[in-house]
Structure 1
């Protein structure tokens, strides 16, 4: 089991998250252009929603470009501020959400930074045991093939293991330094393409390039101006899952108050008048069919027994009994036991007399 370091947890949950500065966002927006069609932009660590709101304002979009924005935020106060700025928002930990795979055309990710602590982590797991890496692994599948990733992380996060992970899933990767150098952040841009199993010379060069930036052997350059590097392609406007799997008590109460569960249709569900009428049989029922109909409760009403007493049929049922048959075959006696289902019909005596109102069983 892995947990967040207490100091990191305190920084992330109390004051802070590390919002992307406006200058970096403006430079980033100028590198992107949105092609005509339907788009979904996701920020799974959206904070107050300011970063996504700025990107929506400043990314150049061609005519007929429709963008729906989605966000996830853990802190309640920040989620409340972000809600009016986005089309849809989940107040949740991103690891407690279900977001349709391949449902987003653009993914902006500025995750929390910090180490994970685990007693049972192997060497390979420890190499990837940082919050920013785990967040990237969790949300990258939501990006469609050919979608654009913008990842804001400290340069030191580009370890050999993480660089290899990115090289296997991204193409056309570029790394630029952020405009504000408080956290030594870099902006990594790439196009999602699954390249696992393709050990090409170009991919190996990318791993070395990213690792050198992470180890400080090479510096990321500034973001260029006046040039468009990536085109965000549209996607199909089909419905997709965007929900949390661990709702709070207040959220459950709000959902039940809004939808009322099944109780608004109580009368429709339980009112006998809404049931379809049973069609009349085409011919007289055989004793076997009659017993099944009685047992199933499909035959009701007044019946008169052979002794002239009248009953009102109430409920049908069946009882499993065992019938024993004995046959003599030569010098041997063969006993066979056969299971049978005997109908049991409960009725109310409605003939005047001492038995009036009693429930009887008709076999």
Structure 2
């Protein structure tokens, strides 16, 4: 299987990034098949996007319509992936919202190594957590029940905790060493099931694999078992895949992608009303009409009186209360006083005098 990305990846290698190699990816693809016509696949650390692009191409070749989604933290790799995949978000995976149980394949080849330990509160040298486990926990909820996990990590990461997490959430788990052994990688397949107690046999298998008991079990060139079937995505439900925060470049790209043929060509129609010339009213406006115009922000701009006086005006309206007092007499002959407060809207126009002369620049209030 000829892939383009091994050559391209050399341009992106930094921050501990190394893509899935050609031999491993080709054998992974050989283990998958389709179980529907409408599929969705996801890579939460997609790099330059070539691996998921190749997987999509293989599933499309089987006769399915496939949507490939990715997340990538590095800007250069993310923008390269945007040209290959359907939707790619340049963001930290922690800042991405993904609807749960909506992906048919979770292709997870996360960064390798330790995260930075948080010692702000204790001051001790507590062991930092592995990045592989962080990415696994953050992205597993996106995989549908019956969906396929493809996990590519160094085999020694599979400790008791990681093995139990996989055994609790997946059936039909298979472990293989990758053909490429630069990072001593392994490939773990699984079919997601509803979370329950860990399956003892699966836990034992993965713990032994993490200790190096199956280093000779290499991913075969030809898949010997029934293929893993990628399930069809559920339709009719609200699907969310977006970042909590988005930068200006991605926002501009999304606007261009989503609204290039709908909203923006009609921008003048929707937002050009303010440029139209205002027609005078049919009759002279009363004080109530003036108050409404001021409250709506229509009384503003530069006006010129018949005498040539030029004012820059800005109108506003505030609510005042009018106090009236009514005097009366009670049945017993005593006097009473009733105070009535009535709301009144008062229009106010403030202006700067632009008329050349001694009043230039003065502030005028019309009330």
TM-score by length of 2: 0.67
When residues 248 and 136 of structure 1 are mapped into structure 2, their CA distance, relative to the original with a 3 A threshold, is same
> CA RMSD, aligned part only?
4.2
- Report matched runs for 1:261-300 at 5 Å: 264=268, 267-270=271-274, 295-297=291-293
Query: 1:315·1:345 contact (CA, 8 Å) conserved in 2?
Result: yes
Deviation by residue 1:225-274 (Cα, 9 ceiling, x = unmatched): 24333111111456733333443454456678978799746754536789
Please name the residue that 2:297 is paired with: none
CA contact (8 A) 1:30 1:59 kept: no
d(CA) in 2 for partners of 1:180 and 1:71? 24
1:234 match: 232
The CA deviation at 1:129 is: 1.7
Conserved? CA contact 1:128–1:162, under 8 Å: no
Matched with 1:209 is 205
Provide the C-alpha distance between the structure 2 equivalents of 1:339 and 1:297, rounded to a whole number of angstroms: 25
CA distance in 2 between partners of 1:231 and 1:256 (Å): 35
Match of 1:39 in 2: 39
Residues 96 and 274 (structure 1), Cα distance of their counterparts in 2 relative to 1, 3 Å cut = farther
Indicate if the aligned counterparts of 1:294 and 1:316 stay in contact, CA closer than 8 A.
no
List gaps (5 residues or longer) in structure 1.
1-11, 279-289, 299-313, 348-357
State the match for 1:281 in structure 2: none
Distance 1:13 1:323 in 2: 81
CA apart distance, 1:152: 0.5
Say if 1:105 and 1:148, in contact at 8 Å, map to a contact too.
yes
Contact 2:110–2:132 (8 Å) recurs in 1 = yes
Q: Secondary structure at the match of 2:199?
A: helix
**Corresponding residue of 1:105:** 104
Measure, in 1, the Cα distance between the counterparts of 2:316 and 2:74. Answer: 58
Query: 1:91 aligned to 2:87?
Result: no
- Cα deviation digits, residues 99-153 of structure 1 (max 9, x gap): 333332111110001112221589xxx7882111111122222222321111101
Tell me whether 1:179 sits opposite 2:147 in the alignment. no
In structure 2, how many angstroms separate the alpha carbons of the residues matched to 1:205 and 1:128? 29
Matched residues in 2 for 1:297 and 1:228: separation? 74
1:75 corresponds to which residue? Answer: 74
In structure 2, do the counterparts of structure 1 residues 264 and 172 end up closer, same or farther at CA, with 3 Å as the change threshold?
A: farther
The equivalent of 1:309 in structure 2 is none
- In structure 2, how many angstroms separate the alpha carbons of the residues matched to 1:13 and 1:247? 25
Alpha-carbon distance in 2 for matches of 1:128, 1:294: 68
> Unaligned regions of 5+ residues in structure 2, if any?
1-11, 295-314, 350-363
How much does 1:343 deviate? Answer: 4.4
Deviation at 1:220, TM superposition (A): 7.5
- Distance in 1 (CA, whole Å) between partners of 2:87 and 2:348 is 57
CA distance in 2, matches of 1:127, 1:112: 18
Count of paired positions: 305
2:34 & 2:255 partners in 1: Cα distance? 39
CA distance in 1, matches of 2:47, 2:119: 31
CA distance in 2, matches of 1:262, 1:94: 35
Residue 321 (structure 2) aligns with: 320
Asked if the contact 1:346–1:360 (Cα under 8 Å) also holds between the matched residues in 2, the reply is yes
Give TM-score scaled by structure 1 length: 0.67
Distance 1:346 1:76 in 2: 53
Deviation at 1:335? 4.6
